[in-house]
C-alpha cells in the first residue's frame, strides 16, 4: 500500500499537497485525480476513463494528461472516452469514432488526423 501511495503521489503531486483534505474541498481536477488514483489502487488489468478532461482548466488538463501517459507507459491498457482531441491523439494507439452509439471509423495512430481534419470527418467542411 505504501508503494502504491508513492506511485500516486508521483503521478499526482497536487494530491500530495492535499492528502489530508476532505474530497468535498478539492477542485474538480483534484477530484478527477482522486478518482483515477482510486482506480489504480485496484491494480487494474484495464483502466477505463470517461471524460477525464471534462471541465478542467488547461493547466489541470495538462497535469492529468501527463499522469495518464505515465500510467500507460508501463503497459496498463486504457480505454479513454473524451472529446478533447489533442488529449486523445497524443495518448492512444487507435482512435474509434462513435456517432449516436455506432462506430463510424477506426483510425490507427500512424494515420491520426489533426483536430481540423477530425472535425471535417465528423461534421463536414462547414462545421
Share of the chain above pLDDT 90, in %: 24
Give the residue from 32, 26, 31 showing the smallest Cα distance to 49.
Answer: 32
Which of 3.40.50.10150, 3.40.1210.10, 1.10.10.10, 3.40.50.300 is the CATH number of 2-92? 3.40.50.300
Does residue 105 register a pLDDT over 60?
yes
Give the residue-averaged pLDDT of 24-32. 89
Break the chain down into helix, strand, coil percent, rounded to 5: 50, 15, 35
Condensed to tens digits (0 to 9), the pLDDT of residues 47-78 reads 999 999 998 888 888 888 899 999 988 888 99
Does residue 31 register a pLDDT over 80?
yes
- C-beta of residue 29 within 8 angstroms of C-beta of residue 56: yes
Give the residue-averaged pLDDT of 28-53. 90
CA dist 114 and 111 (Å) reads 10
CA-derived radius of gyration, the chain: 16
| CB neighbour list of residue 68: distance below 8 Å, 6 or more residues apart | 36, 49, 52, 78, 80, 91
What's the pLDDT at 126? 58
Q: Please give the backbone phi and psi of residue 103, each rounded to the nearest 5 degrees, phi first.
A: -70, 125
What's the pLDDT at 1? 67
- C-beta of residue 9 within 8 angstroms of C-beta of residue 68: no
Count of CA atoms in the C-beta half-sphere (13 A) of 70: 16
Does residue 98 register a pLDDT over 90?
no
Give the residue-averaged pLDDT of 103-121. 86
Amino acid at each position: 500500500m505504501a508503494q502504491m501511495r508513492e506511485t500516486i503521489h508521483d503521478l499526482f503531486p497536487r494530491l500530495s499537497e492535499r492528502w489530508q483534505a476532505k474530497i468535498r474541498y478539492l477542485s474538480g481536477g483534484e477530484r478527477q485525480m482522486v478518482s483515477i488514483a482510486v482506480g489504480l489502487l485496484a491494480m487494474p488489468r484495464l483502466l477505463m476513463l470517461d471524460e477525464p478532461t471534462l471541465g478542467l482548466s488547461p493547466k489541470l488538463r495538462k497535469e492529468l494528461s501527463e499522469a495518464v501517459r505515465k500510467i500507460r507507459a508501463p503497459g496498463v491498457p486504457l480505454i479513454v472516452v473524451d472529446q478533447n482531441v489533442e488529449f486523445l491523439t497524443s495518448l492512444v494507439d487507435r482512435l474509434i469514432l462513435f456517432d449516436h452509439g455506432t462506430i463510424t471509423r477506426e483510425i490507427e495512430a500512424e494515420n491520426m488526423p489533426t483536430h481540423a481534419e477530425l472535425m471535417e470527418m465528423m461534421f463536414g467542411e462547414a462545421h
